[in-house]
Amino acid sequence: MLYCQQMGIEGAFGHREGWRAAAGRLGTSLVGLFFPTTCLACAVMVQREGALCVECWKGLQFIEEPVCPVLGVPFSYQVDEGTVSPAAMANPPAFDAARSAVLYDDIARLLVHRLKYKDRAELALPMARWMLRAGAGIIESSDIVLPVPLHRARLLLRRYNQAAELGRTLSGLAGKPFGADVLIRRRATRQQVGLGQKAREANVRGAFKVKRPEDVMGRNVLLIDDVFTTGATVNAAARALRRAGAAKICILTFARVGEPDHPA
């Protein structure tokens, strides 16, 4: 009798768990019916959250080897290992190495714009995953992840820093410490959009400061930003980190502007 009662209790419990699982699946289906998952870049429905549709995926140009070991710019054809791009030789940067996940084309521009200006903070996760793949080599040797900071006035207007969102997400994926306010922008600067190279450099010259030098002294720093354009901003930030005693400075961005380079 006791055995039958026990089986009855366990059977009922199993049935309840089965009903719960079925109800959960039904709830998920209803959510998907009324709030369908769409492509990160367009309105086409996709099978899973945080994905691109086939056409938008084709439009995202991932940067693949071979790349310049210093600037991370892709070469247009196969080169010998360690070949440095003409741009890196002509104007050696203040940082040690840079990598980017994709070229700044139409789809990449759309994703960056939505993260930066449209409060689409959920885009930080898929973008950081692509950055994780692109920057595997430099991430592994890094001791701390820092974002390119916004000035406090601009941060109040925008409400959040897109570089910080990417950096915080990537640090979690990589298991690296994140320093949200180690590097600060001590003076307001004009937006870099529309400025030439010289004007960009002048605009951000001396704009950055390490708040606590002990946080970077002797450490390998990974600096995060959304887009690498001319390098003026990350170079200015790298100089501040170098003055504070950082041992190595690498740059990782989601996208970079420019076409494939040609080897010297």
| pLDDT number for residue 212 | 92
- Distance, CA of 56 to CA of 225 (rounded, Å): 23
First-residue to last-residue Cα distance in the chain: 88
Highest average pLDDT, of 40-49, 80-89, 184-193, 233-242, comes from 233-242
φ/ψ region of 245 (left if φ > 0, alpha if ψ in -120 to 50, else beta) reads: left
Q: Has residue 189 been placed in a domain?
A: yes
Report the C-alpha dihedral over residues 104, 107, 108, 110, rounded to 10 degrees.
110
pLDDT for residue 204: 79
Taking residue 27's Cβ as centre, other Cβ atoms within 10 Å add up to 10
Query: What was the pLDDT predicted at 88?
Result: 94
In a domain, 30, yes or no: no
Handedness of CA 132, 137, 138, 141 (dihedral sign): positive
In a domain, 131, yes or no: yes
Residue 233 lies in a domain: yes
Q: Is the pLDDT of residue 9 over 60?
A: no
260 or 26, greater pLDDT: 260
pLDDT above 70: percentage of residues in the chain: 81
pLDDT of residue 196: 67
43 domain-assigned = no
Quick one: tokens of 187? 């003076």
Q: What is the pLDDT of residues 105-163, one digit of tens each?
A: 999 999 999 999 888 999 999 999 999 999 999 999 999 999 999 887 777 777 789 99
Is residue 212 situated within a structural domain? yes
Can you read off the two tokens belonging to residue 117? 């200006």
Give yes or no for a contact between 206 and 236, defined as CB atoms under 8 angstroms apart.
yes
What pLDDT score was predicted for residue 263? 45
The verdict on whether omega for the bond into residue 66 sits within 30 degrees of 0, i.e. cis, is yes
* Structure token pair of residue 171: 């640090």
Q: Express each pLDDT in 50-108 by its tens digit.
A: 889 999 999 999 999 999 999 999 998 788 888 999 999 999 999 999 999 999 999 99
**Domain assignment of residue 226, yes or no:** yes
Report the alpha-carbon angle 2-8-14, nearest 5: 135
Q: Which pLDDT band holds residue 258 (cuts at 50, 70, 90)? A: confident
Tokens of 85: 């791009």
Looking at the structure of the chain, the number of domains it has is: 1
**8 A C-beta contact, residue 257 and residue 98:** no
CA distance 70 to 88: 7
Question: d(Cα 171, Cα 139) in Å, to the nearest integer?
Answer: 9
Does 209 or 154 have the greater pLDDT score?
209
Domain with 119 in it: 54-256
Q: What is the mean pLDDT of the chain?
A: 84
CB-based burial, 173-193: b 16+ in 10 Å, e otherwise: ebebebbeebbbbeeebeebe
Residue 194 is predicted with a pLDDT of: 62
Amino acid at position 106, single letter: D
User: Is 60 exceeded by the pLDDT of residue 239?
Assistant: yes
- pLDDT in the model for residue 25: 46
- The CATH number for 157's domain is 3.40.50.2020
Q: What is the pLDDT of residue 18?
A: 54
- Does residue 158 fall inside a structural domain? yes
Cα 129 to chain centroid distance, Å, stands at: 8
Residue 244 has pLDDT above 60, yes or no: yes
pTM for the whole structure = 0.83
